Amino acid sequence: MRTVILPFLFALSACVVEDVASIEMAPRAVAQSQTEIAFVSRLFNDIQVPSIAEDREYCGLIGIDDAGNYVATEPRRGRTATCLPPDPAYANFTVLASFHTHGSFNTEYFNEIPSFDDMRTDIEDGTDGYIATPGGRMWYVDARSQIARQICGLNCLIPDPDHREDPNFLVQQSYTLDDLRDY
């Protein structure tokens, strides 16, 4: 999700958990693995092209089915800076994480890193998250430790051909929730 200030968000501020550090989360159903990361990479490469072409986020949930296979919900087409994945209660598998793209390259956003809201939402939902950026980076939000870490860097996923690195903004390998507060 890109960071955008919208007037109606101020009305929703009463619904936001102020102290996400106090949220209790169940242990992850299975440990993150290279197989999971490869599954998510293929999923993102399937949706990066329409996400970039339409400048829309795409989102959903990934998990494991009863046979132990990695599965995902059908990606939902969101808006330029938002996307609401399905409710995990209705998934027919054990949910491990959410996923979403950041659409096309746009100089108005810090879209090469997770936003504060990306991480805060995953923490509040009690689930981890994967994020694909226009530069082709893949991020993993570990909701329990409240850290976003870069799984793979520039061009590891299909990138937006118009993407340009900002010479004044060095993308770090990881960010905490507090680190993202200013973006």
Stretches in the chain below the pLDDT threshold 70? 1-23, 25
| pLDDT value of residue 21 | 61
* CATH number of the 27-180 domain: 3.40.140
Pair of tokens at residue 181: 């507060």
CA distance 90 to 125: 14
Q: Can you count the helices (H) and strands (E) in the chain?
A: 4, 8
With contact defined as beta carbons under 8 Å apart, do 139 and 152 qualify? no
Cα angle at 70 between 80 and 40, to 5 degrees?
40
Residue with the two structure tokens 């209660």:
89
| pLDDT value of residue 31 | 82
pTM attached to this predicted model: 0.86
Write out pLDDT tens, residues 36-70: 999 999 999 999 999 999 999 999 999 999 999 99
